């Protein structure tokens, strides 16, 4: 940091300046080509780790939490787009998993992705014909990083911000794994994952007894 600037950092800055000048230079063209304008500001959604509590094979359902589930009700909606940030992707497969209101997952066996028990607060769903999804659930609780996780030993005991895990797959795009956080969570800043991914934090709105969040996803093209 400080005054020292790595060659890569210089390159990044040069690239940004170049892109900025390109946008200015292409101003007249941009007015005639909104698709190009969109493309210049368009980025694939940031990716994040899968985490130790992923489990393969959750049932198909968009309602993760039944009426008796403790916690504040949350409805998460959004659209999955292709790499141009404009083309909706119907039929994208979304996997969602999260902790309960007390910060507990339905398993306490980290890394056992194929463990077969009943799935709780997990589900899979497809985006509709407009590329949209809607998940009904509860606000997840925070939890500490478990001890003795290979590679994560130094983070043991660190309280993670509340988050929902999501993984999106579509046949012509690169699968994307995310952790979705919530703006204003004081545990985001010191979290080794959330702290570096501000674009994955959702702004929640209160709607009667519901909290609502919108999160659109942009997948990177695989070709
Ligand atoms: Fe998690």
- Tens digit of pLDDT at every position of the chain (223 positions): 334 444 444 444 444 444 443 444 544 554 333 455 455 689 999 999 999 999 999 999 999 999 999 999 999 999 999 999 999 999 999 999 999 999 999 998 888 999 888 999 999 999 999 999 999 999 999 999 999 888 899 999 999 999 999 999 999 999 999 999 999 999 999 999 999 999 999 999 999 999 999 999 999 998 8
Domain extent, residue 174, equals 73-218
Q: Do 105 and 190 share a domain, yes or no? A: yes
What separation in Å is there between the alpha carbon of 194 and the centre of ligand 1? 11
CA–centroid distance, 143 to ligand 1, in Å, is 8
Q: How far is CA 153 from the centre of its chain?
A: 24
- The CATH number for 136's domain is 2.60.130.10
Residue 43 Cα to ligand 1 midpoint, Å, equals 25
Quick check: helix, strand or coil at residue 94?
A: strand
Start-to-end CA distance of the chain, whole Å, equals 36
| Cα–Cα distance measured from residue 52 to residue 112, given in angstroms and rounded to the nearest whole number | 8
Pairing of strands 201-202, 176-182: parallel
List, as ranges, residues with CB under 5 A of the ion ligand 1: 51
195 CB contacts (<8 Å, ≥6 apart)?
188, 189
- Could you give the CA distance from residue 132 to residue 92 in angstroms, rounded to a whole number? 9
The SS3 of residue 21 is: helix
**Is 141 domain-assigned?**
yes
pTM of the full predicted structure?
A: 0.82
Q: Is residue 46 part of a domain?
A: no
Work out how many domains the chain is built from and give that number: 2
Distance CA 210, CA 98 (A): 18
Strand, coil or helix: 92: coil
**Residue 152 falls inside a structural domain:** yes
């Amino acid at each position: 940091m400080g005054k020292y600037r790595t060659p890569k950092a210089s390159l990044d800055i040069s690239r940004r300046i170049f892109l900025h000048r390109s946008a200015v230079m292409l101003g007249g063209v941009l007015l005639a080509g909104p698709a190009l304008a969109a493309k210049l500001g368009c980025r694939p959604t940031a990716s994040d780790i899968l985490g130790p509590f992923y489990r393969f094979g959750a049932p198909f359902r968009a309602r993760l939490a039944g009426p008796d589930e403790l916690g504040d009700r949350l409805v998460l909606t959004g659209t999955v787009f292709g790499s141009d940030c404009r083309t909706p992707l119907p039929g994208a497969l979304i996997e969602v998993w999260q902790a309960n209101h007390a910060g507990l997952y339905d398993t306490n066996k980290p890394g056992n992705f194929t463990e077969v028990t009943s799935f709780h607060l997990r589900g899979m769903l497809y985006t509709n014909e407009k590329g949209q999804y809607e998940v009904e659930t509860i606000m997840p609780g925070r939890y500490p990083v478990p001890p003795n996780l290979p590679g994560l030993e130094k983070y043991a005991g660190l309280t993670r911000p509340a988050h929902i895990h999501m993984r999106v797959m579509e046949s012509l795009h690169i699968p994307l794994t995310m952790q979705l956080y919530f703006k204003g969570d004081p545990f985001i800043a010191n979290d080794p994952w959330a702290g570096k991914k501000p674009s994955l934090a959702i702004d929640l709105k209160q709607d009667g007894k519901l909290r609502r969040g919108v999160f659109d996803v942009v997948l990177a093209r695989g070709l």
